[in-house]
Amino acid sequence: MLNRDIVQSLPHCASLHQIQGSRSTVPVLVAYPSLHACPLNDTMILHTLSIDLVTVGVVLLTVALLVQALGNSRMATVPVLGTTAFFGYLTALKSQTSITEFLKAGYEKYKSRPFQLPALRAWIIYVAGEQIQDLWKGRDDTFSLKEEVNDLIELQYTLGPSIANDHWHASVIRRQMTQNLAAKFPELYEEIQRAFLDELNLPANGEWQEVKAAEVFTRVICRVSNRLFIGFPLCRDERFTELSRDFTLDASTAAVILSCFPSFVKPMVLRYLTRIPSTIKEFAKYIIPIIEERQRQEVLGDGWNDKKPFDFLQWMLDAARGSQRDPKDLNLRMINVNFTAIHTSSMSFTQAFYWLAAHPEYTPALRMEIEAAVTQLGWTKDAINAMVKVDSFLKESMRVTGIGASSMGRKVMRPITLSDGTKVPKGAHLAANLYGVHRDPKIYERPDEFDPWRFSKRVDAGESATRHALTTATPDFLFWGGGAHPCAGRHFASLEMKAMIAHIVLNYDVKLPRDGVRPKDIWFGASCIPNQTAAVLFRLRQTRAG
Ligand code: HEM
């Protein structure tokens, strides 16, 4: 038996639950495009080749766990979408490639009433309308994001219990990082400029050059994000950039593999069948010496305060107390932030870029707005804030083609009755039907149409700019999740993506090889992945007339 094939097939079973309903599920899906080039390295394959019996055991165990998972988790009182035959697996398999059809049908059939749809590892109850408000208002002791994430990406094993159980660094992202974005913007913009120059490497004569968009944007986002997280020069280190980029893939693959084993063997599985321990060690070689050096400098008191670095790592160091100051723990938190930031941002940006490249008719209006803002305010955060059309363009991209069909995945922590009377037991999994909401004609006129100025038109008409801003999470715009836990990094992610679009529009001409044909998205369960292999054409901007 070829063990490699079995290992490769595991993601299909394990990630299904993961991709339903939670942002942390998104990176898991990044693993899929790499299935041709298996993410497992040769050493791991040697391990697997030597354990045929284990393989048989794993397959049997997996089947048993799957049957148990779906067999037990359907709620008797919630309407079911699709068939319950084979514990729902037929529907679960079908929904892998057609989740949007299911979510649309459920939204139309049940209106705002909850319905349930099987994923491979659990049934998910989808909510909309009033019941999104239930999720929105719910506290962590009722609807837990943390428990959902831990279930989904096996965080307690991959990064350990300290990271899984205490997200104190999220408040550093929410507060210090967000508050300091204006001050950090010049550096971030410098990194955007340099990264595009390096990664695109265009001929000076203005010839078109084909580039792999997703690949380039992921590397640019790694560099720009790490400029904020740990600063220069590490953000430009080739190996560190690779590590940042690949950890999501490794962690996603590991989560999938771990999910097929019972808890007591997971530590062994992590150690022998995944790359996680060696990747953490390699990260540590870069990050721990920097942490230790900064901690040593603290004895200088004010002398250090005056010259200490101004980046996310330092904001964490300043906020950490007691055991939170352990360099190993801080290293894991840095890895965790990379995990949450890089692929979510690069996939979202790629989605928006494909709209830009497919519709050159939108470029003149964007150029005019960007030129006006930069002329008046320079390359500053204020200038980016003034770019209402760029904001609208990105927000519309995220509404129509974000990175998932569901949002706000939560594990139910105690029996609860939703506002329509639906009783939901402890342990159930709930998610908001993002696709249904984002395509609801009562909320968005002609919802299937990409209208880049959909939101800026409302602002121009006098409606609240904040209400329609990309960064604003609402029950009608679920891209950032919401309630008690909207994305903590959304202000940074929005700023980064807006500045990148503005930089491209102002400095490059772009087009697709087949004019107007936007590269097709790839759907895996509830996750939407922008085409990862599509080539696009870039050249240095030829017209300066706006
Ligand atoms: C376009 C890029 C991004 C997208 C689409 C995205 C999306 C999300 C979503 C959907 C959630 C879950 C919200 C919920 O379930 O209610 C989330 C949570 C979170 N995100 Fe993001 N995110 C992005 C970028 C980032 C970045 C750049 C960072 C860090 C710098 C970040 C840090 C976090 C954290 C810490 C949480 C957990 C918040 C909490 O527990 O309260 N995200 N994100």
167 lines ligand 1 (CB under 6 A): yes
Q: Which two tokens stand for residue 516?
A: 């107007």
pLDDT in the model for residue 152: 83
Kindly report the protein residue whose alpha carbon is nearest to atom 11 of ligand 1: 487
**C-alpha 495 – ligand 1 centre gap (Å):** 14
Q: Report yes or no on 145 lying in a domain.
A: yes
Give the distance (Å) from ligand 1 centre to CA of residue 490: 6
Please report, in range form, the residues annotated as the binding site: 487
- Residue 206: alpha-carbon gap to chain centroid: 34
**Relative to the CA of 349, which ligand 1 atom is closest?**
1
- Ligand 1 centroid from CA 522, angstroms: 21
Give the model's pLDDT for residue 40: 33
**Residue 545 within any structural domain of the chain:** no
Nearest to 504 by CA among 396, 366, 375, 345: 366
Domain assignment of residue 277, yes or no: yes
Q: What is the pLDDT of residue 86?
A: 79
**SS3 (DSSP) at 449:** coil
The Cβ-side half-sphere exposure at 315, using a 13 Å CA radius, reads: 23
The pLDDT of residue 462 is 95
Interval between CA 23 and ligand 1 midpoint (Å): 7
pLDDT at 320: 97
User: Quick check: 115 and 106 in contact, CB under 8 A?
Assistant: yes
Q: Is the CB of 477 under 6 A from ligand 1?
A: no
Query: Phi, psi (5° rounding) for residue 424?
Result: -120, 125
Q: How far apart are CA 101 and CA 95, in angstroms?
A: 8
Ligand 1 neighbourhood includes 482 CB (under 6 angstroms): yes
Which amino acid is located at 344 in the chain? T
546 assigned to some structural domain = no
Binding site for heme: what residues are annotated? 487
Ligand 1 within 6 A of 503 CB? Answer: no
pLDDT of res. 77: 81
pLDDT value of position 313 = 98
CB 131 within 8 A of CB 139: no
Distance 22 CA to ligand 1 centre (A): 10
CATH of the domain at 66: 1.10.630.10
pLDDT for 58:
62
Quote the number of domains for the chain.
1
Q: Is residue 472 lining ligand 1, measured as CB closer than 6 Å?
A: no
Q: Which stretches of the chain drop beneath a pLDDT of 70?
A: 1-73, 76, 545-546
Give phi and psi for 259, each to the nearest 5. -65, -15
b vs e for 232-266, b when ≥16 Cβ sit within 10 Å of the residue's Cβ?
A: bebbbbeebbebbbbbbbbbbbbbbbbbbbeeeeb
Expressed in angstroms and rounded, the spacing between residue 217 Cα and the centre of ligand 1 is 19
Contact 497, 348 (CB under 8 A): yes
Decide if 11 is inside a domain.
Answer: yes
**What pLDDT was estimated at residue 70?**
64
In this structure, what token pair is assigned to residue 479? Answer: 């891209």
Residue with tokens 């899929």: 32
Condensed to tens digits (0 to 9), the pLDDT of residues 100-149 reads: 999 999 999 998 799 999 987 789 999 999 999 999 999 999 999 999 98
Q: What is the dihedral of CA 246, 339, 287, 167, to 10 degrees?
A: -160
Classify residue 409 by its DSSP letter. Answer: E
The residue type found at 347 is M
Distance CA 354, CA 534 (A): 10
DSSP per-residue string spanning 65-96: HHHHHHHHH--TTS-BSS--GGGGHHHHHHHH
**Domain boundaries, position 192:** 3-540
For the CA of 409, the nearest atom of ligand 1: 15
Nearest CA to ligand 1 atom 13: 481
Query: What's the CA gap between 401 and 399, in Å, rounded?
Result: 6
Q: So what's the pLDDT on residue 7?
A: 30
Nearest CA to 128 out of 429, 398, 436 is that of 436
The count of other CB atoms within 10 Å of the CB of residue 56 is: 12
Q: For ligand 1, say whether the CB of 144 is within 6 Å of any of its atoms.
A: no
